[in-house]
Amino acid sequence: MRNLIIKGSLIGLLSLGLASCNKSENQMIAHIGPVGTLNTSTTDLKLSLADGEKPALTLSFSKVEVTGTEIPVTSTIQFDVKGNNFANPLEFVQKAYTFSPTVNQMNELMLKLGMKIGEQGQLEVRLKSEPAANAVSYSNIILLTGTPFKASSWIYMPGAYQNWSPETADSLLSSTSNGIYEGIVNFPVGKLDFKITPKKNWTINYGDAGNGTFRLGGDNFNVLTPGAKKVMIDMNKMKWEISDAKIWSLIGSATPKGWDGDTDLKFVNDGTGTFTLTQDLVAGDIKIRYGHDWGINFGGSINDFVLNGGNVSVAAGNYTVKLNVTKTDTQGNPTAIKVSVQKNEK
């Protein structure tokens, strides 16, 4: 048997057993240094729409020293509102040793964490070092001060998917009002056409002009195949793009389709990244999965959905489910989510 022992001076001596068939009983030793100090170029965030693409700050840290047997160490920057004790942080896995989010990205992050437009607030940021699941350590905490600003604008896409009604059409969002609008819309079979309007009426509308372009009063856009689609409209260059999108869904014996089909959550194009669903459920079990596939699924308990968790039992009733992704891996796959499952009173 070979044993792998991780030693971290910040978190004490930690031993991890790694078994493999070997009569020599050799021992491999990896020495893990303490998590480095997190540094920042500023603690006073100057946020404005005009400086949206400029760096808001630069966070930096040193590589954790590993001697002996090389062990990969995952470094993650965590943000949360001051006083929340990082209960539900937004996390960013780092490949480099500096992280320079733009003003627009920091503004969006602050709004996702619940800070109010035009009101000064404070964020805490720290570095999480993770050489193993049971050997996590944290850096110093830095306090950031800033005032989020309103930067978002919307256009609308009435179409066959919602009976061509501009008043109830889904929106596409430009989180920085830069003229590029995006959103996720689910198109049912046989209802693949839509148009674009700047307001919720038909006074001005845009349509397809061929070759990925559009024009005032053009033909209907068509997404070609049903399903969830990411729609991009560039009002500056009068270009548009459609791509397949993955969405979240409920599945299980409590849902209308049981374990044989998904009940999709709807993406809310408001800049919060929220998926939501209001649905009648029968007594039974549910899970949440991504992209209509078991490769990424969450369960556990109604108050704590974790990756690959077990079935979650619910009583019969009408529920509203809201979901936000709080952590992704380096490939952008979700690894942690925040879910609210609220039973509605009738």
The tens digit of pLDDT for each residue in 163-185 reads: 999 999 999 999 888 899 999 99
pLDDT of residue 155: 96
For residue 133, the model assigns a pLDDT of 58
CA dihedral over 289, 290, 295, 297, signed as positive or negative: negative
- Span 134-157, average pLDDT: 90
pLDDT of residue 343: 94
Of 20-34, 76-90, 98-112, 153-167, the range with the lowest mean pLDDT is: 20-34
| DSSP conformational letter for 91 | E
DSSP lists the bridge partners of residue 56 as none
pLDDT at 7: 38
**How is residue 69 written in tokens?**
């047997």
Q: Domains along the chain? A: 37-146 (2.60.40.10), 153-244 (2.60.40.3620), 248-343 (2.60.40.3620)
Q: Are 263 and 255 contacting, i.e. CB atoms less than 8 angstroms apart? A: yes
Confidence band for 256, pLDDT divided at 50, 70 and 90: very high
pLDDT of residue 26 exceeding 70, the answer is: no
Q: In 3D, which of 249, 52, 54 has the Cα closest to residue 149?
A: 52
Determine the pLDDT at residue 135: 74
Beta bridge partners of 145: 44, 122
Q: Write the single-letter amino acid at 125.
A: V
The whole-angstrom separation of Cα 109 and Cα 86 is 14
**CB-based contact 308:299 (threshold 8 Å):** yes
Residue type at 305 in one-letter notation: F
What's the DSSP call for residue 107? H
pLDDT band for 65, please (50, 70, 90 cuts).
confident
Q: At residue 269, what are phi and psi to the nearest 5 degrees?
A: -85, 65
Question: Picking from 34-43, 137-146, 216-225, 299-308, which range would have the lowest pLDDT averaged per residue?
Answer: 34-43
Decide: helix, strand or coil at residue 335.
Answer: strand
In DSSP notation, 206-233 reads: EEEEETTEEEET-BPEE-SS-EEEEEEE
CB distance 8 to 14 below 8 Å = yes
pLDDT of residue 148: 93
Strand partners, 337: 325
Model confidence at 18, pLDDT cuts 50, 70, 90, reads very low
Residue with the bigger pLDDT between 285 and 111: it is: 285
Number of Cβ within a 10 Å radius of residue 90: 20
Tokens 């839509």 belong to: 194
Average pLDDT of 89-96?
Answer: 92
**Percent of the chain clearing pLDDT 90 (strictly above):** 71
Retrieve residue 258's tokens: 């049981």
Decide if 173 contacts 183 (C-beta within 8 A): yes
Question: How far apart, in whole angstroms, are the C-alpha atoms of residue 194 and residue 189?
Answer: 14
Q: What is the pLDDT of residues 229-245, one digit of tens each?
A: 999 999 999 999 999 99
CA 14 to chain centroid, in Å, comes to 32
- Count CB neighbours of 46 within 10 A: 12
User: Quick one: which of 197, 254, 248, 186 has its CA closest to 223?
Assistant: 186
Q: Are 247 and 235 in contact (CB under 8 A)?
A: no
With bands split at pLDDT 50, 70 and 90, how would you rate the model's confidence at 69? low
